[in-house]
A and B are shown apart, each in its own frame.
Chain A
């Protein structure tokens, strides 16, 4: 899935997968920190992923 989305143009670094048990709070914090850091490094994606409002004449 990661391969495929990146193949269609999602930048590497925007999509993250992780397996975290409910007992692994520290791992959760680490992963979230890493993800927010890596995503902030990329440009905002608003233009791409937000739908444009339909035009009403």
Chain B
């Protein structure tokens, strides 16, 4: 049997199936809660939703605006949790299990074969006035506001990480809402990294200087990131104070460099950081380089297996060491 074309996925069927599974799990007492998405108050802004009874399970839904990473909401929880997980969420759940932030047997993973999420930054930038509704059917998305309505092709407005995603199917799941989709093989997730690598030091410096210049240090990227679960983040610590809190370019850069390092070998490129950035900064340019290094140096991609330890917490005698003299 051939795998379904990800472009022809029917979101309505996904929604119905998610609700059906959630209600069954809650009724049978298999889980205490189901974490998923519900419709947001603004177009393209679905909210995380924790359903604890069958009534609130009816609010669960699915469409192409479920880009936040739900693994963020299971950290250190003690209950039995049903969780809706697309490819990247499932990889972050695996990372959570590896890092002892949740136990695998506490989780009932409702796997979503994903067809990519749409980029609200990109769509908002296309129109001068406010968007009041975004409807999708199959491959097309209809954007409308007070005095306009325009049809777009979903493939053209995908989030950058989704367009170049090679793990659309969940890696770990207890049940699927639909058949697995075909994985993309003709994409290069590291295209922009290769481009920057070819620049000289001065150009690189300026590239990142421009990239982060709009940053207002709101830390939304950190809050949305499922990897950022430290009880006290290094930016909030005051004794000692690791990094200056000002808008000085050096402080801003220090924050971004350190945040990225904390995600080294753990980032699944889910794009939650970019999605929530109010300034539309391409934050993934930092983490993507580290992902590429991990792949090239250790053959490692985060969150693919429960049985393997990440490269940065293991030592092997043949670890690459060209950097140290």
Q: Which residues of A contact B205 (CB under 8 A)?
A: 8-10, 48
Q: Which residues of B contact A8 (CB under 8 A)?
A: 204-205, 208, 253, 257, 286, 289
Candidate in B201, B205, B207, B293 with the most chain A CB atoms within 10 angstroms: B201
Q: Tell me if B3 is interfacial: C-beta within 8 Å of chain A.
A: no
**B324 CB contact (under 8 Å) in A19, A49, A54:** A19
A-contact bits for B194-235, CB 8 A (1 contact / 0 none): 001100011111111100000000000000000000000000
A9 touching B206, Cβ below 8 Å: yes
Q: Tell me if A18 is interfacial: C-beta within 8 Å of chain B.
A: yes
Q: Which residues of B contact A1 (CB under 8 A)?
A: 261, 323
B201 touching A51, Cβ below 8 Å: no
Cβ distance B237 to chain A, nearest Cβ, rounded Å: 19
**A9 CB contact (under 8 Å) in B208, B246, B260, B325:** B208
Main secondary structure of the interface of B (DSSP, over half): helix
Main secondary structure of the interface of A (DSSP, over half): loop
Which residues of B113-145 are within 8 A (CB) of A?
none
**A4 CB contact (under 8 Å) in B203, B251, B289:** B289
B253: nearest chain-A partner, CB-CB? A8
How far is it, in angstroms, between the C-alpha of A10 and the C-alpha of B201 when the chains are bound?
6
B206 touching A51, Cβ below 8 Å: no
Q: Which residues of A contact B204 (CB under 8 A)?
A: 6-9
A30: nearest chain-B partner, CB-CB? B325
Q: Tell me if B248 is interfacial: C-beta within 8 Å of chain A.
A: yes
**Size of A's binding interface in residues, CB under 8 A:** 24
- Beyond A4-B260, A4-B290, A54-B246, is A18–B325 a contact (Cβ under 8 Å)? yes
A9 touching B202, Cβ below 8 Å: yes
Q: Which residues of B contact A6 (CB under 8 A)?
A: 201, 204
Q: Which residues of B contact A25 (CB under 8 A)?
A: none
How far is it, in angstroms, between the C-alpha of A18 and the C-alpha of B260 when the chains are bound?
23
B-contact bits for A4-39, CB 8 A (1 contact / 0 none): 111111111000111100000000000100100000
Q: Tell me if A2 is interfacial: C-beta within 8 Å of chain B.
A: yes
Q: Tell me if A56 is interfacial: C-beta within 8 Å of chain B.
A: no
Q: Which residues of A contact B202 (CB under 8 A)?
A: 9
A17 touching B201, Cβ below 8 Å: no
Q: Tell me if A50 is interfacial: C-beta within 8 Å of chain B.
A: yes
Cβ distance B183 to chain A, nearest Cβ, rounded Å: 28
Cβ distance B274 to chain A, nearest Cβ, rounded Å: 17
How far is it, in angstroms, between the C-alpha of A24 and the C-alpha of B286 when the chains are bound?
36
A51 touching B250, Cβ below 8 Å: yes
A4 touching B261, Cβ below 8 Å: yes
A7 touching B325, Cβ below 8 Å: no
A-B contact pairs, 12 of them (CB 8 A): A1-B323, A8-B253, A9-B203, A9-B205, A9-B209, A10-B201, A12-B201, A17-B324, A34-B325, A48-B250, A51-B244, A51-B248
14 more A-B residue pairs beyond the given contacts A4-B260, A7-B196, A10-B205, with a C-beta to C-beta distance below 8 A:
A3-B323, A4-B264, A8-B204, A9-B201, A9-B203, A9-B204, A9-B209, A17-B323, A31-B325, A48-B205, A50-B250, A51-B244, A51-B246, A51-B251
